[in-house]
Structure 1
Amino acid sequence: MISELRKVLKRLHYPLEVMLVCARWYAAYPLSFRHLEEMMQERGVFVDHSTVHRWSLKILPVLALIFRRRKRLVGTSWRMDETYIKVAGQWKYLYRAVDKAGDTVDFLLTAKRDKAAARRYLERAINLHGLPEKITIDKSGANTAAIHSVNADACLDIELRQSKYLNNIVEQDHRAVKRVTYPMLGFKSFWSAQKLIAGIETMHMVKKGQLRCPGGQPMSAADQFYSLAF
């Protein structure tokens, strides 16, 4: 087990394989924690749904960080957009981008949808993947202002395109994440939403083949996810 995961699991006494299976199922499929409780009971493992929730909060953020270190680079033409996520009864904003092949660039959950939030997302994505040649957005004024400010402050020349048609690819990609979050009926806190969405996004990228597999060997999405823990 990787040291980062050992630190957060040192007082949890279930087998690691059981905890990883629950975390993967939650991140990969449209299931609630009560669904997972029932599914594990059918397999002879009796665990409360609140315990599964606690496992996911501890495991998924760690694996998301490990994934970022092993993530394949994306293309230099990005499609950027934001979608809505309900947190504690209020709508929050999940910034996301994909390249022209549909691979996820990065994601960031923010409390507001404004220039500062869009710029924070852009800087995070650029720190991970380097500078893009062009970014396609819809008619969002906040996103436009953020890209212009990044260009001006760092003397960059990122091409900005505004095209709803070209941005369909990222809007369609939102659906894969929203499909998993829908049964959750909203997150209870912004803190937990950040951690769980990190796991959901990570599993989504694993399914799209964005993890550099050890030794370059082909692996199933499940095995790729588990490989992050070891």
Structure 2
Amino acid sequence: MQTEIISYKRPWFPPRIIAHVVWLCVRFNLSLREVQEMMLARGVDVSYETIRRWTVKFGPLSAHVLRRRQPRPSDIWHLDEVVVKIAGRSYWLWRAVDQHGVVLKEILQSRRDKRAGHCQVVEAALPL
């Protein structure tokens, strides 16, 4: 198994700061200015434009590494159906959840089609 190494050769800031900033943007989907304020509270003065550049440059690889670290879905999962009202109309929400509570797949249907909903969720929930 090959590990991906992210190269932080050019920036002036230490790699730990860049990695933390990109992690905040990718993991928690925070705005650039929110991340700027959080870093300023920690004593690091970095502009939101620099944060944007780091996110564009290092974000995709960081997101890939984060996705690979997530645990694989377990082989035991449950299917749930619930009726929700959105703008006065009824919709059927199907969810596949594994034994640890991780949502594997969600499908929202305007008409109740048990067979189609079940098949789509089961296909997504099956491990590769």
Percent identity between the two aligned chains: 29
Partner in structure 2 of residue 83 of structure 1 = none
Residue 159 and residue 73 in structure 1: after superposition, are their counterparts in 2 closer, same or farther (change >3 A)? Answer: closer
Partner in structure 1 of residue 58 of structure 2 = 59
Larger radius of gyration: 2
Alignment pair present for 1:17 and 2:16: yes
TM-score (norm 1): 0.33
Partner in structure 2 of residue 139 of structure 1 = 109
Alignment pair present for 1:33 and 2:3: no
Residue 69 and residue 23 in structure 1: after superposition, are their counterparts in 2 closer, same or farther (change >3 A)? Answer: closer
Higher fraction of strand: 2
Q: Count matched residues.
A: 104
What's the CA shift for 1:136?
7.2
Alignment pair present for 1:50 and 2:49: yes
- Alpha-carbon contact 1:79-1:137 (below 8 Å) kept: no
Query: CA separation in 2, counterparts of 1:59 and 1:78?
Result: 36
- Alpha-carbon contact 1:37-1:49 (below 8 Å) kept: yes
- Alpha-carbon contact 1:22-1:52 (below 8 Å) kept: yes
TM-score (norm 2): 0.52
What's the CA shift for 1:159?
5.3
Larger RCO (CA within 8 A; separation ≥ 6): 1
Q: Would you identify which runs of 4 or more consecutive aligned residues in structure 1 move more than 6 Å?
A: none
For the aligned residue pairs, the C-alpha RMSD in angstroms reads 4.1
SS of the aligned residue for 2:109 comes to coil
Query: CA separation in 1, counterparts of 2:71 and 2:61?
Result: 18
- Alpha-carbon contact 2:22-2:62 (below 8 Å) kept: no
